[in-house]
Copies of this chain bind each other. A is one copy, B any other.
């Protein structure tokens, strides 16, 4: 699968926004999978996602005005309800039935706003991969957003081999280059939806981002990272630091835990919306912990971003370049394979029957 190719899995839920991006009547314009979308929360509390082009002359509805659960285009005043139906045309009594804008299925789960860009008949909300810690008061964190000038799969690749912590994030998330050489070999379990990976790194200094939020910064720790990568672009991770030698199974006696979820939603073939929250479950009364973690993660993501955007440039400049595979790429290779199969199947289904396929925009 070429990252310069413009092919997305359509029939799945993608994260479109954090809920706080739509608070207080905010109107958010965001391109998702190459489609311009306007997102807002109506007065009734419903989330709404419409094609961000007035059906009349393509003016952006996101430059319009919220009115109850409706949005009014501020060019010629056409008003659309949350289903995308035009309900008013100033100066004209008759509203032609073709005056509609596409309305995307949209659903909130634990502060994330999910959108379905594919065939709406298949938009089953049970397919949303909810991440309970995001809504659990025992876990605290600050939601983050970054924009990447790179195809989303390059970020998925990045997260699929956390061995890159050793070199990219030595001074932030990693702590030492040793992590790449001596940490316990990954346990990778392939799944139909992606893969699980577990990685232990024992008897080492705590990495800088963790040192900043604990009191005893010099004690050696055992570190466990347990990750899941779900195609097309979701990364979930449990991280544990326990006193060195305290045993694999023991989460008692001073272990520190983190829960982390990251979401890569294609904006275009060459740019990505990146959402994340890195949460902790200790010292919950100290708000500085979440702030420190957020800042550490932003610092680290910028280390990734520089490399990933450089990769994107290299690949765009020479589409003939072929990426090569290492042993550590077992997971990412599997993700790309199952993703390609799903995309192929989706396309075959669309070719078989045009019935039920959406025709937005």
Q: Which residues of A contact B (CB under 8 A)?
A: 34, 36, 52-53, 55-60, 63, 72-77, 89-92, 96, 98-99, 157, 161, 163-164, 166-168, 177, 180-181, 183, 185, 306-307, 310-311, 314-315, 317-318, 320-321, 323-324, 326-328, 361
| Shortest distance from the beta carbon of A223 to any chain B beta carbon, whole Å | 16
Contact B180 A90 (CB under 8 A): yes
Task: Select from chain B the residue with minimum beta-carbon distance to A96.
Answer: B324
Which residues of B have CB within 8 Å of A326? 56, 76, 89, 92
Number of copies: 3
Contact A53 B181 (CB under 8 A): no
Contact A58 B311 (CB under 8 A): yes
CA distance A73 to B324 in the complex (A): 14
Task: Select from chain B the residue with minimum beta-carbon distance to A77.
Answer: B167
CA distance A213 to B90 in the complex (A): 29
Task: Select from chain B the residue with minimum beta-carbon distance to A154.
Answer: B57
| Shortest distance from the beta carbon of A175 to any chain B beta carbon, whole Å | 15
Q: List 13 A-B contacts (CB under 8 A).
A: A34-B317, A36-B318, A57-B157, A59-B310, A59-B311, A59-B314, A63-B307, A74-B168, A77-B163, A90-B167, A90-B180, A90-B181, A96-B324
| Shortest distance from the beta carbon of A258 to any chain B beta carbon, whole Å | 23
CA distance A164 to B91 in the complex (A): 11
Contact A164 B314 (CB under 8 A): no
Contact B163 A99 (CB under 8 A): no
Contact A77 B166 (CB under 8 A): yes
Contact B60 A310 (CB under 8 A): yes
Which residues of B have CB within 8 Å of A327? 91-92
| Shortest distance from the beta carbon of A173 to any chain B beta carbon, whole Å | 14
| Shortest distance from the beta carbon of A159 to any chain B beta carbon, whole Å | 13
Contact B76 A323 (CB under 8 A): no
Contact A323 B77 (CB under 8 A): no
Contact A324 B77 (CB under 8 A): no
Task: Select from chain B the residue with minimum beta-carbon distance to A182.
Answer: B91
Which residues of B have CB within 8 Å of A36? 314, 317-318
Task: Select from chain B the residue with minimum beta-carbon distance to A93.
Answer: B327
CA distance A180 to B198 in the complex (A): 64
CA distance A41 to B252 in the complex (A): 52
Task: Select from chain B the residue with minimum beta-carbon distance to A88.
Answer: B181
Contacts A161-B76, A306-B63, A307-B63; A315 near B58 (Cβ below 8 A): yes
Task: Select from chain B the residue with minimum beta-carbon distance to A52.
Answer: B314
CA distance A180 to B75 in the complex (A): 11
Contact A59 B307 (CB under 8 A): yes
Contact B53 A321 (CB under 8 A): yes
CA distance A311 to B57 in the complex (A): 7
| Shortest distance from the beta carbon of A341 to any chain B beta carbon, whole Å | 22
Which residues of B have CB within 8 Å of A90? 163, 166-167, 177, 180-181
Most buried by B among A89, A92, A321, A324: A324
CA distance A180 to B180 in the complex (A): 67
Which residues of B have CB within 8 Å of A63? 306-307, 310
- CB within 8 A of A60: which of B60, B91, B180, B314? B314
